[in-house]
């Protein structure tokens, strides 16, 4: 993902400024003041710094290429069956309201008979892309495209299910509403029956 920012590095990811924490803390302090609060009172005295560290943590995916985790590969020993990792938990942040998005991802790919990656690497890819200001639709595409680009499988399918706090705590206030997104690539993009079979396996049990 290319980020439009003066501090964007050559690979399109942000370079973290040395004074990022202090700058963020200053803005949080300003928000508290604009709300009519007193950032100097005991309960809020350390809040700007805590919030700054929180933002740097939850948006840490801006400063890395999550696809790099997939470069750790090993021989498939001829295995050509599909690989599925279900119910990968993820936490992201809605880029429209900066509120949490909490959900689970199902990731499947069909090896080409050559190379596999560690199961935990798939979870790390999900986590890396989730730790950014996101749209669930974009997040789903980024995970699928990274697997397709690095592992060169015959097929990829990513399904994500999540609850968006911007729908729960504000606006329509619809707690429990779940958003489902998917992205299929390769053979599963063109074969609806095969795609349906994989999705059934994702939800089996």
- Which CATH entry fits the domain spanning 1-63: 1.20.1630.10, 1.10.286.10, 3.30.420.40, 1.20.140.10? 1.10.286.10
Q: How far apart are the first and last CA of the chain?
A: 35
- pLDDT, tens digit (0-9, with 9 covering 90-100), for 37-68: 999 999 999 999 999 999 999 999 999 999 99
CA–CA separation, 190 and 84 (whole Å) = 19
**Residue 80: helix, strand or coil by DSSP?**
coil
Residue 79 assigned as binding residue:
no
Do 170 and 94 touch, CB atoms closer than 8 A?
no
The reply to whether 69 sits in an annotated binding site is no
Q: What is the pLDDT of residues 135-185, one digit of tens each?
A: 999 999 999 999 999 999 999 999 999 999 988 887 777 788 899 999 999
166 is in an annotated binding site: yes
Active site residues: 94-97, 136, 164, 166
Range(s) within the chain of domains with CATH label 3.30.1130.10: 66-203
pTM of the model as a whole: 0.88
């Amino acid at each position: 993902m290319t980020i439009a920012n003066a501090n964007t590095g050559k690979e399109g990811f942000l370079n973290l400024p040395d004074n990022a924490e202090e700058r963020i803390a200053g803005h949080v302090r300003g928000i508290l003041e604009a709300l009519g609060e007193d950032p100097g009172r005991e309960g809020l005295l350390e809040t700007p710094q805590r919030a700054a560290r929180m933002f740097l943590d939850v948006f840490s995916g801006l400063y890395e290429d999550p696809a790099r985790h997939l470069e750790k590969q090993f021989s498939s020993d001829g295995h050509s069956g599909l690989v599925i990792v279900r119910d990968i938990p993820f936490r992201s942040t809605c880029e429209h309201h900066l509120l949490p998005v909490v959900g689970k991802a199902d990731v499947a790919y069909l090896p080409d008979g050559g190379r596999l990656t560690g199961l935990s690497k798939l979870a790390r890819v999900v986590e890396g892309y989730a730790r950014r200001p996101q749209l669930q639709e974009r997040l789903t595409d980024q995970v699928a495209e990274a697997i397709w680009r690095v592992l060169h499988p015959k097929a990829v399918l990513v399904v994500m299910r999540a609850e968006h706090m911007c729908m729960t705590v504000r606006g329509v206030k619809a707690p429990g509403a779940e958003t489902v997104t998917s992205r299929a690539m390769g053979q599963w993009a063109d074969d609806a029956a095969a795609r349906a079979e994989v999705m059934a396996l994702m939800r089996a049990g």
